[in-house]
Amino acid sequence: MANSTLTKQRSEALGSTVALKSAMAVTGVILVLFLIAHMYGNLNVFAGQQAFDDYSHHLRELGEPMLPHGGFLWIMRVVLLASVLVHAYAAAVLWRRAGRARPVRYQVTKRVQRSYSSYTMRYGGILIALFVVFHVLHLTTNTIHPGGASDSPYERMVAGFQPEFWYVTLFYVASVVAVGLHLRHGIWSALTTLGANRQSRQRSLNIIATVIAAALTVGFLLTPLSVTLGLVE
């Protein structure tokens, strides 16, 4: 093998489809870890307004005095934003490649074993991206405020998911379900991309992906639905 060109070949491989999806896998894992932490935060709602608001307040104090006020949160935001951008960029490149790779479509297509979850990865991803924008404007920046603005995150949330804003809740629920589906395939895909798949583990990896995806879906649905149904006021 012509090893003299290996350096060049290696740098070319840094832009390969495998490298791209590895980037998606790594950023995806970061985002999943974030979601787990986020869900934990959400569930504080059941401990009452004080606990919930304290939790969001503490996030800003995390790392003090080593970091300035809000420093940790900003680091996290930068990491998350970078992850989302890399994830989306790699997805877009691979999507385009896939489109180019099959210029003439089949007249008849049939899914052999693929799941609905893998089928909806790309459009689901777009829906999730749109949702994240809305979600940040609503509950982080306080720009959009169905039910009225407030300095208390708890109040913003409770106000936003009141039954009269059923469409907010509906959008939220649909998006969370989309996240769940995205994760069902995404977690499996990330693990296998990063080299964890063995035939003997294939089932376990799929179970892990299903369990995490389901737990996050349920966890994220509990809060808004509890508000809408009046369990949390």
DSSP 89-100: HHHHHHHHHHHH
> Residue 6 or residue 149: which is nearer to another protein going by CB?
6
Residues 6+ away with beta carbon under 8 Å from 185: 115, 117, 118, 121, 209
| Nearer residue to another protein within complex by CB, 20 or 127 | 20
Do 138 and 145 touch, CB atoms closer than 8 A?
Answer: yes
Give the whole-angstrom CA distance, residue 98 versus residue 45. Answer: 43
Residue 66 DSSP code: T
- Report the nearest approach of another protein to the CB of residue 212 (Å): 16
Residue 104 contacts another protein per CB under 8 A: yes
Indicate which single residue of 65, 109, 151, 164 sits in contact with another protein (rule: CB under 8 A).
109
State the binding string over 121-140 for another protein (x if CB under 8 A, else -). x-------------------
Instruction: Supply the DSSP symbol for 146.
Output: T
Q: How far is the CB of 209 from another protein (least distance, A)?
A: 11
Whichever of 65 and 102 has its CB closer to another protein, that residue is 102
The CB-side HSE value for 23 (13 A sphere, CA atoms) comes to 20
Element (H, E) at 115: none
State in angstroms the smallest separation of the CB of 150 from another protein: 42
Binding mask 15-54 for another protein (x = CB under 8 A): -xxxxxxx--------------------------------
> Which DSSP symbol is given to 65?
T
Q: Which residues of this protein are in contact with another protein, per CB under 8 A?
A: 1, 3-4, 6-7, 9-10, 12-14, 16-22, 94, 97-98, 100-114, 118, 121, 185, 188-189, 192-199, 201-202
